[in-house]
Amino acid sequence: MMPDTRLAPPPAALRLAIDRDALRGNWRELKRLSGAASAGAAVKANGYGLGARGIVPELLQAGCRDFFVAHAGEAASLLDLIDPAALSVLHGPVSDADAQWLKAVGVKPVINSLVQARRWHDVGGGRCDLMVDTGINRLGLPMTELGDEAVSSLEVDVLLSHLAAAEEESPLNALQLGRWREARAVVPHRRASLANSAGIALGAEYHGDLTRPGLALYGGIPCEALRGVIRQVVRPQAAIMQVREIGPGEAVGYNATYVAQQPMRVGTIALGYADGYLRCWSGKGLLRAGGSVLPVLGRVSMDMTVIDLGNAPDLKEGDWVEAGYHLPDAAIASGLSQYELLTLLGARFQR
Ligand SMILES: *Cc1c(COP(=O)(O)O)cnc(C)c1O
């Protein structure tokens, strides 16, 4: 018999609770801190793992008008949600095929080199953004090439640069600010942009006409100035699939890294390293249900993790628990960056 493909699958035992109110609130706060500049949003990497198609409508509703993705393919998946002219592809036209596609759909390339500038001219040119490298030495036009005819003939909407150490008190910040100002004086453009999330907190000099927060929209706190302003957005939650009682001397999980010292009640949840809950949480992660703390026991497996139910004797199969995921704290506990904690979150979460 053929399977009925119209039948909707049952809900997953794994979900990513996204606080849409907090997301919109974070954008508004970052807009407020951007002063006279408007605030855009970096929604690359599937909206930092949250699901770009789910968050873009929230950001639009909050008032966001400028969006940044890394790859052309990421722009393609958002074309029905965002005006193509308000969508910038940070990697720019990496190939001739990229340039042709960007031109055809009207999405703005961020031009990062003379090669990319010529590629854009070759397909007919038109409105684009320009990234100038002021000291990160990653992607962007070198300062020495600002005067090139291929650059001065571009129709630049946003002149961008990107800070290498905005979350630190680094001499690089002032150095990059100075070079960005030089670039603004040389290259004709409509708007200028320098600050990522942490850059916004560096003050008005760094704001230009448009800021480009990413991390902080999603609850990341890159610097002290944003603490108390930014709210948590993402909460990974998983259902308990099985509960068991184990006795002293019994081991839990791969390689028996946890051994019970007394009788225990433990639960297995549908969350593993394939979901982005990496093995660094083994024997270290904390889940919660109500006010109870439920430590991870032994190794995190690919699709599941075992937790101690000792603090919550009423929990049973089918009940939901939540992983501690306040990003600044989770970063310290796991050794991962707040960016990694977000972008790791896997495809199996119901978002
Ligand atoms: C990712 C990115 C941002 C956002 O940075 P956050 O640190 O996440 O706020 C801004 N600008 C560029 C060019 C980026 O690549």
Mutate to test the pocket of ligand 1, among 27, 68, 218 (most ligand atoms within 8 A of CB): 68
Pocket mutation for ligand 1, best pick of 30, 161, 212 (most atoms within 8 Å of C-beta): 212
Give 43 Cα–ligand 1 centroid separation in angstroms: 9
Beta-sheet strands, E only, within 22-92:
38-39, 41-42, 67-69, 87-89
Q: Which pLDDT does position 184 carry in this prediction?
A: 98
Q: 213 CB less than 6 Å from ligand 1?
A: yes
At residue 2, the pLDDT reads: 75
Ligand 1 touching residue 201 (CB < 6 A): no
User: What's the chain's length in residues?
Assistant: 351
Predicted pLDDT at 12: 86
Place of tokens 């961020």: 110
| Residue that the structure tokens 């990341």 belong to | 220
**Is 44 annotated in the active site?**
yes
Residues with Cβ within 8 Å of 282's Cβ and at least 6 positions away in sequence, in order, are: 253, 257, 296, 298, 299, 300
Asked whether 90 lines ligand 1 (CB < 6 A), one says yes
Tell whether ligand 1 has an atom less than 6 A from the beta carbon of residue 197: yes
Ligand 1 midpoint to CA 196 (Å): 5
Residue that is written with structure tokens 């940044």 in the block: 68
Catalytic residue among 44, 108, 206, 218: 44
Window from 3-12, 272-281, 292-301 with minimum mean pLDDT: 3-12
What does the pLDDT read at residue 6? 84
Which atom of ligand 1 is nearest the CA belonging to 212?
10
**Mean local confidence (pLDDT), 49-63:** 98
Topology annotation, domain 20-226: TIM Barrel (3.20.20)
Matching CATH topology for 20-226 and 234-343?
A: no
User: Looking at the predicted structure, is the pLDDT value of residue 42 above 90?
Assistant: yes
Domain ranges (residues) in the chain? 20-226, 234-343
Q: Give the separation between CA 115 and CA 94, rounded to whole angstroms.
A: 9
Q: Is the Cβ atom of 315 under 6 angstroms away from ligand 1?
A: no
Average pLDDT, the chain: 97
Give the CA distances from residue 175 to residues 132, 170, 200, 295, 347, in Å, rounded to whole numbers and listed in that order.
14, 9, 16, 46, 40
Whether residue 3 has pLDDT greater than 90: no
What band does 281 get if pLDDT is binned at 50, 70 and 90? very high
Query: What pLDDT is recorded for position 241?
Result: 98
192-219: per-residue pLDDT in tens? Answer: 999 999 999 999 999 999 999 999 999 9
pLDDT band, residue 257 (cuts 50/70/90) = very high
307: pLDDT strictly greater than 90: yes
How much is the average pLDDT of 121-147? 98
pLDDT at 5: 79
Pick the CATH number of 234-343 from 2.40.37.10, 1.20.1250.20, 3.40.50.2000, 3.40.190.10: 2.40.37.10
